[in-house]
Amino acid sequence: MKRRYYLGIIAVFLMLATVSWKSRSSPRPVIPTVINLNIGMPYADVIKSSSYPISKHTANYRDVPLDVGASFVDHPAVVIHFTDPQHGFTLPPTKFAAIGYDDNRVATVSTSPMLEKLPFDEAVALLENLQNQFKRGGWSPWEGNESEWFDLTPTGKKQLYARMFEAGYGQMTDLRIPGKYSMIFRLQCERGCWTREPPYLFLVDIGVSDDLHAWWDKLSPEEKERELPPPQYRKCNGFKAKDGTELEPVRPPMPPCKPSTASTASAKQP
């Protein structure tokens, strides 16, 4: 229940981000303010440690202050600093962010860390900068849905660009710090891709919460293997959703597939 709740909050906030981006004009140059936070950080500590006026941009959803509520960034420019000493990161300035609270503590953070929708090459440069930060911080793709790092080799970029014009018009990966955090990391086309009318413009989206996939670590290797798709539907076997939506299994003979860590662990057991 908690997992679905937080995923729902992040999805709603990222949807609000899209509306915010579509309704605002180009910002004037400003000096960024800073929001320092971490998942589980008390609301009062976010206020004290941040130069952005958090309390002036907070809505309460219940009578008890911040039992459940949210703070919003809706104008440029704000730098979000995730303060975990080992897994933290600093995002580029943004003009949209939403911070969700539960029991007076930070529960979710959703943002598009940029000031403008960008052409593909510039958006991918930002994506690569963030991906490198996350890698250095020990984040890793979630095995349970076959998430992978964005392939930003020249060939990978060409494939990623082509993906932006398929149904869904974006690509997402799930990252996590086991036992602590999970993250939605996404590149999304926000202009032109569905109509094939340039200019094509893109957003990078990030949503962070506590570890929504902790249940995965409690499974045995055999149970993990059963949770993964059948071989003909696995990405490592070359599976790709037809037109981005319809399932089109890989027909035999299938190319070699690297074994999952679940099956590898299972094989090592006596």
Q: Over the stretch 81-135, which tens digit does the pLDDT of each residue have? A: 999 999 999 999 999 999 999 988 999 999 999 999 999 999 999 999 999 999 9
Residue 5: the pLDDT is 46
Residue 267: the pLDDT is 44
Summarize the confidence of residues 175-182 as an average pLDDT. 97
- 8-state DSSP, 74: -
- How far separated are the first and last CA of the chain, in Å rounded? 36
Summarize the confidence of residues 161-176 as an average pLDDT. 95
State the Cα–Cα distance between residues 163 and 201, nearest whole angstrom: 14
> ∠125-128-132 over CA atoms, to 5°?
145
Residue 266: the pLDDT is 41
State the Cα–Cα distance between residues 52 and 44, nearest whole angstrom: 13
Q: For residue range 10-39, list pLDDT tens digits in order.
A: 444 455 444 444 544 444 566 889 999 999
pLDDT exceeds cutoff 50 at 182:
yes
pLDDT category of residue 204 using cuts at 50, 70 and 90:
very high
Residue 75: the pLDDT is 86
CA atoms within a 13 Å half-sphere pointing along the CA-CB vector of 174: 17
Q: Describe the chain by its helix, strand, coil percentages, rounded to 5.
A: 35, 25, 40
- Average of per-residue pLDDT values in the chain: 82
User: 179 vs 258, which has greater pLDDT?
Assistant: 179
| Strand 140-141 relative to strand 105-111, pairing | unpaired
Q: Structure pTM?
A: 0.79
Position 207, amino acid: G
Residue 25: the pLDDT is 47
Q: In 178-240, which residue ranges form alpha helices assigned H by DSSP? A: 214-217, 221-227
Q: For residue range 219-260, list pLDDT tens digits in order.
A: 998 898 888 877 666 776 666 655 444 455 555 555 555 554
User: 14 vs 169, which has greater pLDDT?
Assistant: 169
Residue 10: the pLDDT is 46
| Strand 97-102 relative to strand 68-73, pairing | antiparallel
Residue 265: the pLDDT is 47
Residue 250: the pLDDT is 54
Residue 61: the pLDDT is 57
Residue 65: the pLDDT is 54
Residue 85: the pLDDT is 96
